[in-house]
Amino acid sequence: HLPLGLKKGSNFFQEGRPFKELKIMIAVKNEGIILEKTNLEFENQAVLNPACIQMDDITHMFYRAINHNDISSIGYCQLKDNKVVKRLKRPVLFPEYDYEKKGVEDPRITLLEGTYYLFYTAYDGKNALISYATSKDLIHFAKQGLISPKISYDEAEDIFRESGIKERYSMFEMLYKEREGRNVLLFEKDASLFPRRFDGKFALLHRILPGIQVIYFDKFSGLTDNSWRDYFRNLGDFIVIDPLFWFESRNVGGGAPPIETEDGWLIIYHAVEDTPLGKIYHAAAALLDHKNPLKVLGRLKEPLFSAEEPWEKIGVVGNVVFPTGAIVRDKRLYIYYGAADKLIAAK
């Protein structure tokens, strides 16, 4: 856990003041393993990448569970002081439709105006797109369907090139077309909602490789393919974080939903480093302006934490820490993450 509001001192980058070093240090404490797989059919291969929300003294955790057929669903448990006090034996969300037939993955949850919004990646075996469900009580969830554009990578990248966006945004087109075929849809993942509106609009963080962007909209039904095309034509204006430092050499992506602090919106995100031995995942942090989340006030130029423990280095996929949930309790920030794509741990 981290003392909330302090920044990682000797390696803090302030936008507009390159590589300014702030001499404020924080301690990152290892809370250890929180949740592991069971023999239940829906989670007998791995549990990982949880969404968390704190209500009174209970942390509600919605986690990705994988079975031996490599199909994901979303399980649920309750924590008190990081100890499991309740755990359901069935998933709360599972594949039901063709667009999610191979998995519902990597949830994030936000409470906004009395409604819980739970976003997840819907995977059909080829395409990964953003979907969401809503609840009033954290018990009954209603799926609301896909909100990602059903636009091919081929078309999207043509729009990116015309818009003059950085060349790196076109690099991933070839990768996905070679892997999944020419008609693969633009991959959309890592979505999370700000817990308040800006000028009356929803604000959704999402990831088009290799960066993190924000899209503003009046209502979810307005996220049509044509509105996404209009947004893509100006995507450069809506990039929040692009890869910048050594540990972000491949890409960055969303982590936990934004957390409001006195100094701005705290963003815990993941960063992927390309190395000769493969990809290494790190946890990172940035601070965004209260009124304008597109304005980055600062970000760490070293990882917040990386794989160090055996359970983080060795698993289904090694060298992975993937933060997706964070809660504030007793003036401490607790970060929950998938470790080596096998289990859930906390800092």
Could you write out the DSSP letters of every residue in 43-84? GSSEEEEEEEEEETTEEEEEEEEE-TTS-EEEEEEEEETTEE
DSSP state of 140: -
Q: What is the pLDDT of residue 25?
A: 54
Question: What average pLDDT values come out for the chain (347 residues) when binned by 10 residues?
Answer: 45 47 63 98 98 97 98 98 98 98 98 98 98 97 98 93 84 88 93 98 97 98 97 96 97 98 96 96 97 96 96 97 96 96 98
Measuring CA to CA, which residue among 274, 132, 246 is closest to residue 189?
Answer: 132
Q: Are 252 and 210 in contact (CB under 8 A)?
A: yes
Q: What is the pLDDT of residue 310?
A: 97
How far are the Cα atoms of 81, 265, 286, 313, 328 from residue 244, in angstroms, in the given order?
36, 20, 12, 24, 28
Q: What is the pLDDT of residue 20?
A: 42
Question: For residue 33, what are the contacts with CB-CB under 8 A and spacing of at least 6?
Answer: 311, 339, 343, 344, 345
Tokens read off for 232: 């893509």
How far are the Cα atoms of 72, 247, 343 from residue 104, in angstroms, in the given order?
5, 28, 17
Could you write out the DSSP letters of every residue in 267-289? EEEEEEEEETTEEEEEEEEEEE-
Q: What is the pLDDT of residue 165?
A: 87
Tokens read off for 65: 């569970």
Q: Would you tell me the crossing angle of helices 153-163 and 225-232 to the nearest 10 degrees?
A: 40
Tokens read off for 246: 């050594």
